[in-house]
Amino acid sequence: MKDLTHPLVWFYIPVTLTWICFCISVGNPAKFIDYDWLWLLFRSMSPYFWSALGVALAVGMSILGAAWGIFITGSSLVGAAIRVPRITSKNLISVIFCEATAIYGVIVAIILQTKIEYVQPVDGVWDRYAMLSGYAIFGSGVTCGFANLVCGMCVGIVGSSCALSDAQNSTLFVKILVVEIFGSALGLFGVIIGIIMSGAVTWSGAK
Amino acid sequence: MAGAVAGIPPDGMLLAVLADEDTITGFLLAGVGNVDLRKKRNYLVVDSKTPVRQIESSFKEFCARDDIAVILISQQVAGQIRNVIQQHNKPIPAVLEIPSKDCPYDPAQDTLLTRVKHIAGFN
Amino acid sequence: MSTARYTVAPTVTMLTMMKARLVGATKGHALLKKKADALTMRFRQLLKEIIEAKENLGATMKGSFFAYTEAQYAAGEGIKHTIMDNVDTAVVKVRGALDNVAGVKIPRFSSFVIPGETKMDLTGLGRGGQQLQSCRKAYQSAVELLVQLANLQTAFLTLDEALKVTNRRVNALENVVKPKLENTISYIKAELDELEREEFFRLKKVQKNKQKNQAKAEAEFATAMAELQEATADTLDMPPFDPKMPGQNVQPPASSSLLNYKEDDMLF
Amino acid sequence: MYGFEMMSFNIKDGFLESIVRGHRSGLLTVADYNNLSQCETLDDIKLNLTSTDYGAYLVNEASPIYTATIVEKCTQKLVNDWNYMRTQADEKLATFMDYCTYGHMIDNVVLIVTGTLHERDVQELLDKCHPLGMFDSIATLAVAQNMRELFRLVLVDTPLAPYFSENLTHEDLDEMNIEIMRNTLYKAYLDDFAAYCQSLGGATAEIMGDMLAFETDRRALNITLNSIGTELTREDRKKLYSNFGLLYPHGHNELAMAEDFDQIRSAMEKVPAYSGIFSKLGYGESQMLDKLLYEEEVKKCVDCFEQQFHYGVFYAYMKLREQEIRNVMWVSECVAQDQKGRIADGIVYLF
């Protein structure tokens, strides 16, 4: 592969390889996939692992998306502003929209983080409420994180186009801003669903 | 007079050009240009950096060459060596002032034409 | 100087010679005048043509320059370097011939294109070739016109020179040679008349002197005779002296002697 | 991967892309051309141009200004812009930008080669070279005395070396007509450029494929048109056509056989993209063709700016600037030569 940024390199190949390794080498070599063993594995996994992973994904993915969006917008904005400096202050809005996705991630991460309570496994087995909470926080974090990742990229790309078109024709700015607002709303959907999902969290089963 | 004409070689004589680059390029395109074995050319590209002395010497050289029948010289260039042109009064080579691309033809500047008009006007 | 004349001895032979020369000069003058007129006519025609052609030239060259601009537009700025480097041997040349106007030989050029493939044919193959070829044609026709103009110009210069020489000759004959000859002739004539008159006067004078001498001699003779008569008075019956007598006696021989008279210092 | 360049493009090339778009917005507009057409003298033109992007380049020019000076300064502007972007460019884009200038490089090499054969002064030759086609070892081109030496010593180190070695034999170097050599090189260059653009993939491959196809078809058309009536044989003609484009391969066969304009026309009209151009032409007239093709090119270049995240804009910008310089030259020449009636014939407006 000549290009390291090609999605084949950074996405499809690692995912496929991992899946193949997982399918082939995990568990009993007699079976292709040993479901009993898998069940045991998941059952004995700590729900704190899942909740921590959820929090990390929520903030990490959001910030990844925001950063990505900001550089897509930013590099175009900087280049276009050389010739037309007037666009800089207006187009900071695009950067702020990208930044907002990071903030969504941070907010959701904080909310998720506050939901974590202390419980102990009984006889090495986790309570099912604890398991539920762990998966809920994980799901909430993943939902929010990926939604914000994509939202950040979307806002970034639209913001980049916005900067370029504003430089050519300033009447286009408001119109593209509307597009951007709708793009930015995508992240909010993730946030909303994430928060609703995290509402299911009850570590001790007391509601 | 007859002697001068007898000197015309049977395979034809050349035209010489002294002018700016664009004017000369056109004539070269038409096939006027000639470079002989000794790399002597029958044209001189005159730009703002060409010294007047060089124009003069080329003009005199063209006048002295016996295979040149007509010397085309752009008015701009002619203006720089006006006195040399006025001294030249042989019929061959004929010195012809042509307009150059950058400045349109001004009949009042032409040595020959002023002479012609002088004669025509006063006779 | 109308009073100038040739320094010749005023003789009859000279007079005939001068007269012959005058006739020659008049004839030559008439001929030269005719030639000068022919040349002037052609010259005038040339002047008109030159002015016309020169003014035409401006327009034609303008067309050619524009054709070049079109070529440059189509083929790009760099095309001129390509053209400059493609120069090899000239394909447009000038042929010379002689024209005769009233005895004046005028060189006459005509341009011709050496046929055959040239390097310029493929110039601008990638782009602009068509415009380059049309520009080339425009310039070739401009060259044709220029050569014609060069023709007119050489003819003008040659004719100008010839006309000057002829006019100088006509004027010389008219204003110098002919008056000089005429003056000489009239001088010789005057001189001859003068000589004749002088001779006549001289003869008269001689005759007068002769008569005076004769009268004197007769008077002396008369006195001598009177003395003699006195001396021999009455011896001789002589008539008295008549002063007119000797004149009447001498004149007829004197007038006849003028016609027959031969003297050494007379020329004729 | 189509679409994904949106995410990765700006990492390296976002800045330059927006810069080139900025330059594009500095191109002369219809209103500018209208003002220029109203000018009476070259000084007026200069004055009008000083209010545009060319201002900094023309403002200090002394008053008797000539078309050549104006064109030179405008070219200088393009060259400076281009060099600024080229030095900023990261790999891939850098190679792409180099490819864009190889056309000029071929012209320069051919110029120096012929100049050397005619024993011209090297410095004089270098002054005549197009500044976009310069490369480091260009001055050493002149040391060679014959073509073989030239190739062995100098050309091997230039990016053009493969074009020479793959398409020309040593005998060709010595004997071939320089115009045919130039077009052979150009053909090899276009083939190579097109292959490179396809390897880039994505929107660049799509847009550049379109533009280069047009370019190569135009060249094929021009070569055919200009070689009618010359000693160039059909086979030789066919060798100069590129191996891609909308006309490849059947159109090329027909073009190679064409003997007059109408035959060319019938070959070209079979391609839907070009039938529109030819329908604007009356039968038998070929003079307007150039302008129509220029207009088509400008249209393609402008369209190219409609899409983001691809390299085509750099190529398009260069083409548009060059067309603009041609326009300015045309207007100036018309004004200088008092042919104002013809101004409209040469300008290709940007819309």
- Of the candidates D75, D230, D290, the beta carbon closest to that of C74 is on D290
**C264 or A65, higher pLDDT:** A65
Q: How confident is the model at residue B2 (pLDDT cuts 50, 70, 90)?
A: very low
Calpha distance A154→A145 (Å, rounded): 14
Q: Cβ of B110 under 8 Å from any chain C Cβ?
A: yes
Q: CB D143: neighbour CB atoms within 10 A?
A: 12
Average pLDDT over chain A, rounded to an integer? 88
Q: Which fold has domain A45-198?
A: Four Helix Bundle (Hemerythrin (Met), subunit A) (1.20.120)
Q: Two tokens at D26? A: 């500095």
What are B118's two structure tokens?
């002088």
Interface of D with C (CB under 8 A): 71, 75, 107, 110-111, 114-115, 118, 120, 128, 130, 177-180, 182-183, 186, 218-219, 222-223, 225-227, 230-232, 240, 286-287, 290, 326, 329-330, 333-334, 337-339, 342, 346
Within an 8 Å CB–CB cutoff, is residue C85 touching chain D? yes
Q: Decide if B93 contacts B16 (C-beta within 8 A).
A: yes
**D to A contact (≥3 Cβ pairs closer than 8 Å):** yes
Chains that touch D (3 or more CB pairs under 8 A): A, B, C
> What confidence tens digit (pLDDT) does each residue in D153-206 have?
777 878 888 888 888 777 776 677 788 888 889 999 999 999 999 998 888 999
What is the pLDDT, as a whole number, of residue D286?
63
User: In chain B, which residues have their Cβ closer than 8 Å to the Cβ of D336?
Assistant: 101-102
Going along chain B from its start, the domains and CATH numbers come out as 14-120 (3.40.50.10580)
Q: Do D338 and B102 lie within an 8 Å CB cutoff?
A: no
The mean pLDDT value for C143-168 works out to: 84
How does residue C64 score in pLDDT terms, banded at 50, 70 and 90? confident
Give pLDDT, residue A181. 93
Q: Give me the interface pTM, i.e. the ipTM.
A: 0.81
Interface contact A13, partner D, CB < 8 A: no
Q: What is the pLDDT of residue A126?
A: 87
pLDDT at A1 over 50: no
Q: What is the mean pLDDT of residues A65-76?
A: 94
Does residue C107 have a cis bond before it (omega within 30 degrees)? Answer: no
pLDDT higher than 50, residue B123: no
Which residues does C33 contact at the CB level (< 8 Å), separation at least 6? C170
Give which of D224, D216, D204 is closest to D103, Cα–Cα.
D216
Q: What angle do CA A61, A64, A66 make, to 5 degrees?
A: 110
How many residue contacts between C and D have a Cβ separation below 8 Å? 93
- List the single range of A34-43, C164-173, D17-26, D56-65 with lowest mean pLDDT: A34-43
From C53, D335, C84, D143, select the one nearest B112 (Cα to Cα): C53
Position D15 scores a pLDDT of: 93
3-state helix, strand, coil in chain C (%, to 5): 75, 5, 20
D chain contacts of residue A4, beta-carbon cutoff 8 Å: none
What is the side-by-side order of every strand in the sheet holding B68-74?
Answer: B43-45, B14-19, B68-74, B94-98
Q: What is the pLDDT of residue C125?
A: 80
CA distance A25 to D280: 69
pLDDT at C5: 78
Q: CA D97, CA D17: separation in Å to the nearest integer? A: 12
Q: Which residues does chain D have within 8 Å of residue C76's beta carbon, measured at their own beta carbons?
A: 326
Residue C100 CA to residue C103 CA, distance in Å, equals 6
Calculate how close chain C gets to D340, using CA atoms only, in Å: 11
Query: Best interface-test mutation with A: which of D15, D18, D21, D306 has the largest number of A CBs within 10 A?
Result: D18
Nearest CA to A111 out of A171, A190, A19 is that of A190
User: What pLDDT score was predicted for residue D314?
Assistant: 96
Q: How close does chain C come to D22, measured CA to CA in Å? A: 26
Contact check, Cβ <8 Å, D286/C77: no
Q: With beta carbons less than 8 A apart as the criterion, state whether A154 and A73 touch.
A: no
Q: Kindly tell me whether chain B and chain A come into contact, counting contact as 3+ Cβ pairs under 8 Å.
A: no
**Contact in structure between B17 and B43 (CB atoms under 8 Å):** yes
Q: Which of C160, C162, C164 is nearest to C172 (CA)?
A: C164
Number of helical H runs and strand E runs in chain A: 7, 0
The closest alpha carbon to C104, from C48, C171, C41, C56, belongs to C41
pLDDT higher than 70, residue C110: yes
**Contact residues for B93 (Cβ-Cβ < 8 A; gap 6+):** B16, B62, B63, B68, B69, B70, B71
In residues, how long is chain B?
A: 123
CA angle D67–D341–D300, rounded 5-degree value? 70
Fold that domain C12-189 belongs to in CATH: Helix Hairpins (1.10.287)
Closest CA–CA distance from residue A55 to any residue of chain D (Å): 25
- Residues 6+ positions from B10 with CB-CB distance below 8 Å: none
Please give the residue of chain C at the shortest CA–CA distance from D75: C77
For the beta carbon of residue B68, count every other beta carbon within 10 angstroms.
20
Assigned token pair, B7: 């000197």
Amino acid at D38: Q
Hey, are the CB atoms on B34 and C89 less than 8 Å from each other?
Answer: yes
H or E element in which residue C248 lies: helix C244-260
In contact, C111 and C147? CB cutoff 8 Å: yes
Q: What pLDDT was estimated at residue D194?
A: 94
Give the strand pairing for C104-113 and C92-101.
Answer: antiparallel
**Residue B108, pLDDT score:** 67
CA distance A134 to A38: 18
Q: Taking 50 as the threshold, does the pLDDT of residue B1 lie above it?
A: no
Whether C249 has a pLDDT exceeding 60, the answer reads no
Q: Which of A36-40, A181-185, D60-64, D136-140 has the lowest mean pLDDT?
A: D136-140
Residues C57, B2: C-beta atoms closer than 8 Å: no
What's chain B's Rg over C-alpha atoms?
15
Q: What string of DSSP letters covers A134-198? A: HHHHHHHHHHHHHHHHHHHHHHHHHHHHHHHHHHH-TTHHHHHHHHHHHHHHHHHHHHHHHHHHH
Closest-CA residue of chain B to D339: B104
User: In chain A, what are the domain boundaries?
Assistant: 1-44, 45-198
- In this prediction, residue B47 has a pLDDT band, given cuts at 50, 70 and 90, of confident
Residue B75, C-beta contacts closer than 8 angstroms, at least 6 positions apart: B97, B98, B99, B100, B103, B105, B106, B109, B110
pLDDT confidence of residue D259: 85
Percent of chain A with pLDDT over 70: 91
Q: What residues of chain D score a pLDDT lower than 70? A: 1-3, 142, 145, 173-174, 283-287, 351
Interface residues from chain D to B (CB-CB < 8 Å):
66-68, 118-119, 336-338
pLDDT confidence tier of residue A31, bands split at 50, 70 and 90 = low
Which of A73 and B13 is assigned the larger pLDDT?
A: A73
Which residues in chain C touch residue B35, judged by CB atoms under 8 angstroms apart?
Answer: 87-89
Instruction: Give the N- to C-terminal CA distance of chain D in Å, as an integer.
Output: 32
Neighbours of chain B (3+ CB pairs under 8 A): C, D
Query: With bands split at pLDDT 50, 70 and 90, how would you rate the model's confidence at B5?
Result: very low
> Hey, is D287 helix, strand or coil?
coil
Out of A25-29, A38-42, A90-94, which region has the weakest mean confidence (pLDDT)?
A25-29
Q: DSSP states of chain B as a string?
A: -HHHHHT--TT-BEEEEEE-HHHHHHHHHHT---B-TT--BSEEE--TTS-HHHHHHHHHHHHH-TTEEEEEEEHHHHHHTHHHHHH---SSSEEEEE--SSS---GGG-HHHHHHHHHHHH-
Short-list D190, D184, D163, D192, CA closest to D240: D184
SS3 label, residue D57: helix
pLDDT in tens, C186-224: 888 888 898 899 999 999 999 999 999 999 998 888 888
pLDDT at C238: 58
Three-state helix/strand/coil letters over D59-109 = CCCCCCCCHHHHHHHHHHHHHHHHHHHHHHCCCCHHHHHHHHHHHHHHHHH
Which pLDDT value is given to residue C264?
60
CA–centroid distance for B42 within its chain: 10
**What is the pLDDT at residue B4?**
43
CA D56 to chain centre: 25
Assess contact for D141 and D123: CB atoms under 8 A.
Answer: no
pLDDT of res. C39: 83
Using a CB–CB cutoff of 8 Å, tell me whether C86 touches chain D. yes
Q: Is B39 on the interface with D (CB under 8 A)?
A: yes
Can you give the pLDDT at residue D86?
94
Using CA coordinates, name the residue in chain D closest to A3: D200
Put simply, whether A160 touches D (Cβ < 8 Å) is: yes
Greater pLDDT, A205 or A48: A48
Q: At what angle do helices C12-75 and B111-122 cross, to 10 degrees?
A: 130
CB atoms within 10 A of CB B66: 12
Contact status of A82 with chain D (Cβ, < 8 Å): yes
Residue of B29, B100, B111, B115 to mutate when probing chain C, most C C-beta within 10 A: B29
Q: For residue range A85-97, what is the model confidence (pLDDT) as tens digits?
A: 999 999 999 999 9
Q: Is C204 exposed, middle or buried (0-12, 13-18, 19+ CB in 10 A)?
A: exposed
Query: Which of chain B's residues have a Cβ under 8 Å away from the Cβ of C138?
Result: 26
Q: Closest chain C residue to B33 measured between Cα atoms? A: C90
User: Could you tell me how many CB contacts below 8 A there are between chain B and chain D?
Assistant: 11
Least reliable range by pLDDT among B42-56, B69-83, C238-252 = C238-252
